[in-house]
Structure 1
Amino acid sequence: MVKPWQDTALSAHVRAADLLARMTIEEKTAQLSSVWLGAEPEDGEAADVAPGQHEYAATSAALAALLPYGLGQLTRPFGTVPVEPAEGAARLAALQRTIRAGNRFGLPALAHEECLTGFTAWQATVFPTPLAWGATFDPALVTEMAQAIGASMRAVGIHQGLAPVLDVVRDPRWGRTEESIGEDPYLVGTIGTAYVRGLEAAGIVATLKHFAAYSASRAARNHAPASLGPRELADVILPPFEMAVRDGGARSVMPAYNDIDGLPAHAHAELLTQLLRDTWQFNGTVVSDYYGVSLLEEAHRVADGEGGAAWLALTAGVDVELPAARCFSTAYPLPEGLLDRAALRVLTQKCELGLLDPDWEPVTGGAPVDLNPPHMRELARKVAEESVVLLANDSGVLPLGDGLRIAVVGPLAHEQAAMLGCYTFPRHVGVHHPELPVGVAVSTLAEALRAELPTATFVADPADADLCLAVVGDRSGLFGRGSSGEGCDAEDLELPYNQSEVLNRALASGTPTVIVVLSGRPYALGRWADRAAAVVQAFFPGQEGGAAVAGVLSGRVEPSGRLPLGVPRTPGGQPAPYLAPPLGRHGFPSTVDPTPLYPFGHGLSYTTFAWETPHCENPELATDGETSIRLTVRNTGDRPGIEVVQLYLHDPVGTVTRPEVRLVGYARVPLDAGAFAEVRATFPADLAAYTGADGRRVVEPGALELRIAASSAHVHHTVPLTLTGPVREVGHERRMRCEMRVK
């Protein structure tokens, strides 16, 4: 007889509740637990095991202890050690059968993986890092990429992806800047939501991280306390998460490692329950960051023992402990009401994924599995090409001509590492296996240039060359094994590895020099930019990044990337985020000029564009209304190009200090030579809302300006608006987007 929890005609919640009522305390607790096979439990480092030797160790003590009761999650069955894709799928299926056979309800585990730069598995396509997604200003392409990544994960038995990162960059010295999308909440929200939509459309549970304020840590130090007020939290940090929950349909959230004003995120009931669930109506699962529950005891010291840490986390709203069960255990009795609340959420999600269906079977594996097929490589190439930013080209030396003698200098020109972020498999796990091939083809920039420029002659000495390409940037890594990446924070924004000498020597040669930066964060270029023939920036552009950068240099690819965060002029500290209010910018009473060398949104093309005078249909609108703006953009050059029209909001007077400008809309406009297109923006008054002195988010009557711009500092047109009517409070249902259409 089919039990109600097995009846697919019933809702997931009803089925999960029926199953929960049949479970013992031990079985409920097991659903909140995870096992990380093949990893060292004390430090999370991958085990030193080669492909073909990897065993899932079904007899391990942790798994053996849980088998009679079931298991909530399997941690990174592909992303812990290198494993052949088909072999990995077969072994995961076998492990799932073992888990099902071990518990009386026949429940499988939910398997999760990292997918920040593609599926973090050996031989899987390596996509550009999220900072490069932001540089594309192309949500549709990011959705397409995420859906392809999700489909590859689903095909081998994975259910959940630990991405995207929605931390808004506040100080680019932070090592995890490369994992973030940018310094603007609207860009992070729209691009991040696009990624969530693609992953969820493929049937993979998207996990939003890190909730919240991780990127606002003091001195940009990993895990450090976050010093920010309630308005910065509400208006800068939280909107991307809110958008991804509401508009993206994300089904999981991961708390951050940091504390906010003394309260760790993993123990923050106001954040994880009152805001996330009660206000935003999130009904998915909250999964801990790796060892985040343990850190309540070991690092934050707000818990007395593992049992106390478990109680704090469960009370706050954490449902699953990752990557392994340390605190969520029957060794520490937990209030059954909290246990039931978390277990019901886990079981409901498993039901939604089909894991409670009586006919569920694991992906069997055995057949050939290609995690790097042509369509994935093509997508990686397209994202990489759209993300390359042409910062300067005053001399007109780019695109490169035929038959040049070119010197390529700088060690990163010859390293695959310059293309790969810290959450790519080669840099995350592969570094522990130097005897293995990378698993996918990754060209260095020097190799890509030779393929791209068959008529060029490459010489060793810049003095003998017509042109010098000086390549500088980062090597990604984890916890000190690189200059960028998790735990690789910087004291300043000086180029690492003494690469300033590379630029000094190149520029001193007298040969026209193009600076190419391949990095995970922006670096200070003020000492060299005005002497360089051109400057190009790419943010860890992935396995196809070498060809993408070479294509932009040659002119085969039209540059269309825009900066997702500003590039500083000087290395000390950071440039002022463009979201700064007037006193956060340059001027009296400080002698320090924090103005970035290249501002947020900046990027050049090889053609020219004309922006005609815009038309505003209704410059006077109510505080609950909207207006439309039309603008014609024309390609006035002799080659095709892509302009990125950006819409910024300026609020002249507020009840609290306001950013001078902030992004509220954007659109990519591809145009052939001589062609034109109309861009129409629908601006809702809700986008003028901000958190006032009393903590309420309101839209106020008064004057506003919409600035139609090529960057946050390059304004083409200003459209004055007047909001009329009463002060209006807005909440979670407010409109958070400006719809931009190109005709």
Structure 2
Amino acid sequence: MVEPWQDTTLPARTRAADLLARMTTEEKTAQLSSVWIGADTEGADVAPGQHTYASRSAALDALLPYGVGHLTRPFGTVPVEPAEGAARLAELQRTIRAGNRFSLPAIAHEECLTGFTAWQATIFPTPLAWGATFDPALIMDMAQAIGTSMRAVGIHQGLAPVLDVVRDARWGRTEESIGEDPYLVGTIGAAYVRGLQAAGIVATLKHFAAHSASRAARNHAPASIGPRELADLILPPFEMAVREGGARSVMPAYNDIDGLPAHAHAGLLTQLLRDRWEFAGTVVSDYYGVSLLDEAHRIADGEGAAARIALAAGVDVELPAARCFSPKDPLPEELLDRAVLRVLTQKCELGLLDADWEPVTGDLPVDLNPPHMRELAQKVAEESVVLLANDSGVLPLSDGLRIALLGPLADEQAAMLGCYTFPRHVGVHHPDLPTGVEVPTLAEALRAELPGAVLGEDLSAADVCVVVAGDRSGLFGRGSSGEGCDAEDLELPYGQAKLLDEAMASGVPVVIVVLSGRPYALGRWADRAAAVVQAFFPGQEGGAAVAGALSGRVDPSGRLPIGVPRTPGGQPAPYLAPPLGRHGFPSTVDPTPLYPFGHGLSYTTFAWDAPRCDTVELPTDGETTLRLTVRNTGQRPGTEVVQLYLHDPVGTVARPEVRLVGYARVTLDAGASAEVHATFPADLAAYTGADGRRVVEPGALELRVAASSEHVHHTVPLTLTGPVREVGHDRRMRCELRVK
């Protein structure tokens, strides 16, 4: 007989509620728990305090009679060959099913920020590079491919994307973020969510909220942020990913906001996320986030109190291991049932409650780095390379040149890899382990790209010098970029400034290539450099992508998702600063970026015709469509990125001078043209006023059609008419741009 909770014709929530009613308190609590197999083994060190917590957490054997909610990182803790890992995970799921009376398996989750964080899996560019592509469709394809590979070996949930809007690039996790603009972060992030979940993987939004707004850009530090900045700059990407992306899981942040830790913030996790945004998925703690309510924030007296506070706020699952959510310290029944119903509903949606469910064993051999994923990694890398300067015309490099290739990162794989790639996250603890995938260095890629060139380190005989500067990623101090690797300023690390000074003094034209997880101050050399190229940890195909951009095989089409500073101090200086946050009397500090948000050059040229607008007067609940023709006036194909910014001359509160409200990539052959249609809804002019209401006000606006936040081609004055209109969470959040 099929029980109602096993009946696939019934709605998931109905099935989950039937199962919930049959469970004991111990069985319910077990569904909120997680088990991290291998967390305390030698060479597994991917989270702070991991070994201490693992030794004090509930073991699998203790949970088996009741069930297990989550399995933590079966592939991303220690190296495991893919087919063997799939077989081990399948056997573990069989053990878990056999141990509990309902035969329930666990949800297996993994990191997937730069691809599936598993040995031998394709390594994609870091999220800051996703932002540089300005290409949501490509990022969605990438995410779907990542999700498909995870699903093929038995994974159900991915801990990505990171939707933190960067407020200070000294923050070590800048590389994990998509950029400094909420519209760019939201549109790219929602695309990633749609792609991952199209493959059957639950996407998890991180870190909710204000993790990136910490004081002095220190990891886990309190966020000094007001409710308006939170509402207008930090929260929109999460809202977009929930409403438009359909995200099915959210992870709270480690920080506190005005003294209230995110894991204890009912205003965020329940009143906003669930009551107003109508989010129906699960909230999973960041690793040890519940424990930290007791140990770090000190708002709880012991583990049981921490569990009750987190559960009441809206946390449903404790990751990565059961410590606070324990039947030994009973949880309030009403709150327990609320969380368990959400978890069981998600398990039902994943098929884990079906009577015929069987674990995925994987086809042998399991290939986590197939050709189509390498091609996607290459395309994302190529579209993310940003040409910042080329005033001398030294780029593209011709074959046959004598090239002095300098810099500690010129021939190092680490220059390509972010901190959540398997080699930098796990592999560093296994020095004898092969990388698992081919990751050509820039030196290797340049030799293949320009076989007739002579590469060496001799400046005296060189026609051109390429200096490769940037970062090595790592975790918690093991790199210059990455989680826990915050910077005191934005000076290039490892003494690279001295190397650049010496190269500039040689008289040889110098091309600066920055491979990094954050922007660094380049103003010291900008006037003397022949060219400047930026790539943000571009992944396993990044060497070939950057080499292709240097040779001209790839026309650079990336645009900056975050501005490049002129000087290493005077931070933060995001482009979304209000007027007083910009340069001017009476401060002697100039925070104006050297290269602004949205900036990027091409090897061809473009002309933008004056835009035409359906109407320049529209009601506060209306819309207008702008049409613009872009022409490739150069001698080679190329891609222009049309960006639409909004300027509001007068508001009731101080606001950013401009903010991005739309963009489109326009790829054209030499001599070709295309028309860009941009439909702008008045809802995008909404902002949060002093009274906390989000409103659209009548009055004058400007739409700025631009190649960057500072390079404006055309300005279109608009007038909004009618009453002040309050907008809610059903407002339109994007400007639709179409290329014809």
TM-score by length of 2: 0.98
Secondary structure at the aligned position of 1:737 is classed as coil
From 85, 99, 114, give the equivalent of 1:102: 99
2-structure distance, mates of 1:573, 1:582? 16
| Preserved CA contact (<8 Å) 1:251 1:285 | yes
Residue 454 of structure 1: CA displacement?
Answer: 0.8
| Preserved CA contact (<8 Å) 1:569 1:575 | no
Count of matched residue pairs: 732
1:714 maps to which residue? 711
**1:129 matched to 2:126:** yes
What is the identity, as a one-letter code, of the residue corresponding to 1:719?
Answer: V
1:64 maps to which residue? 61
Moved more, 175-184 or 583-592: 583-592
Residue 486 of structure 1: CA displacement?
Answer: 0.1
From 636, 647, 652, give the equivalent of 1:650: 647
From 520, 523, 527, give the equivalent of 1:523: 520
Residue 380 of structure 1: CA displacement?
Answer: 0.1
2-structure distance, mates of 1:41, 1:265? 30
From 252, 257, 260, give the equivalent of 1:260: 257
2:6 maps to which residue? 6
**1:269 matched to 2:258:** no
From 690, 695, 706, give the equivalent of 1:693: 690
Secondary structure at the aligned position of 1:531 is classed as coil
From 383, 388, 391, give the equivalent of 2:388: 391
2-structure distance, mates of 1:565, 1:361? 45
Residue 586 of structure 1: CA displacement?
Answer: 0.6
What is the identity, as a one-letter code, of the residue corresponding to 1:40?
Answer: D
2-structure distance, mates of 1:365, 1:9? 28
Cα deviations by residue, 1:395-444 (Å, 9 ceiling, x for unpaired)? 00000112100010001001000000000000000000001100000000
| Preserved CA contact (<8 Å) 1:566 1:575 | no
What is the identity, as a one-letter code, of the residue corresponding to 2:474?
Answer: G
2:241 maps to which residue? 244
Cα deviations by residue, 1:307-335 (Å, 9 ceiling, x for unpaired)? 00000000000000000001000111110
From 454, 457, 460, give the equivalent of 1:457: 454
| Preserved CA contact (<8 Å) 1:178 1:485 | yes
| Preserved CA contact (<8 Å) 1:89 1:366 | no
2-structure distance, mates of 1:571, 1:336? 53
**TM alignment of 1:54-453, pairs within 5 A:** 62-365=59-362, 367-453=364-450
Residue 40 of structure 1: CA displacement?
Answer: 2.4
1:34 maps to which residue? 34
**1:576 matched to 2:573:** yes
1:471 maps to which residue? 468
2-structure distance, mates of 1:507, 1:621? 54
What is the identity, as a one-letter code, of the residue corresponding to 2:29?
Answer: T
1-structure distance, mates of 2:677, 2:238? 27
2-structure distance, mates of 1:426, 1:725? 57
Cα deviations by residue, 1:541-564 (Å, 9 ceiling, x for unpaired)? 000000000000000000000000
| Preserved CA contact (<8 Å) 1:474 1:518 | yes
What is the identity, as a one-letter code, of the residue corresponding to 2:529?
Answer: A
Residue 574 of structure 1: CA displacement?
Answer: 2.3
What is the identity, as a one-letter code, of the residue corresponding to 1:481?
Answer: R
2:497 maps to which residue? 500
Structure 2 residue runs of 5 or longer lacking an equivalent are 48-53
Secondary structure at the aligned position of 2:326 is classed as coil
Structure 1 residue runs of 5 or longer lacking an equivalent are 48-56
| Preserved CA contact (<8 Å) 1:207 1:252 | yes
What is the identity, as a one-letter code, of the residue corresponding to 1:459?
Answer: G
| Preserved CA contact (<8 Å) 1:452 1:547 | yes
| Preserved CA contact (<8 Å) 1:16 1:344 | yes
**TM alignment of 1:472-621, pairs within 5 A:** 472-574=469-571, 576-621=573-618
Cα RMSD for the two superposed structures: 1.2
Residue 611 of structure 1: CA displacement?
Answer: 0.4
TM-score by length of 1: 0.98
1-structure distance, mates of 2:442, 2:457? 15
**1:679 matched to 2:676:** yes
2-structure distance, mates of 1:467, 1:395? 12
| Preserved CA contact (<8 Å) 2:618 2:720 | yes
| Preserved CA contact (<8 Å) 2:645 2:709 | yes
Residue 658 of structure 1: CA displacement?
Answer: 1.2
Cα deviations by residue, 1:144-164 (Å, 9 ceiling, x for unpaired)? 000000000000000000000
| Preserved CA contact (<8 Å) 1:90 1:366 | no
What is the identity, as a one-letter code, of the residue corresponding to 2:193?
Answer: V
What is the identity, as a one-letter code, of the residue corresponding to 1:494?
Answer: E
2-structure distance, mates of 1:110, 1:575? 40
2:16 maps to which residue? 16
What is the identity, as a one-letter code, of the residue corresponding to 2:595?
Answer: Y
2:51 maps to which residue? none
Q: CA 1:23–1:41 in structure 2 vs 1: closer, same or farther (change >3 Å)? A: farther
Cα deviations by residue, 1:64-86 (Å, 9 ceiling, x for unpaired)? 00000000000000000000000
Cα deviations by residue, 1:323-358 (Å, 9 ceiling, x for unpaired)? 000100011111000000000000000000000000
2-structure distance, mates of 1:396, 1:485? 34
Residue 575 of structure 1: CA displacement?
Answer: 5.3
Identity of aligned residues (%): 86
What is the identity, as a one-letter code, of the residue corresponding to 1:240?
Answer: P
Secondary structure at the aligned position of 1:529 is classed as coil
| Preserved CA contact (<8 Å) 2:44 2:426 | no
Q: Which runs of 4+ in 1 moved over 3 A?
A: 41-44
1:53 maps to which residue? none
2-structure distance, mates of 1:401, 1:455? 9
| Preserved CA contact (<8 Å) 1:289 1:322 | yes
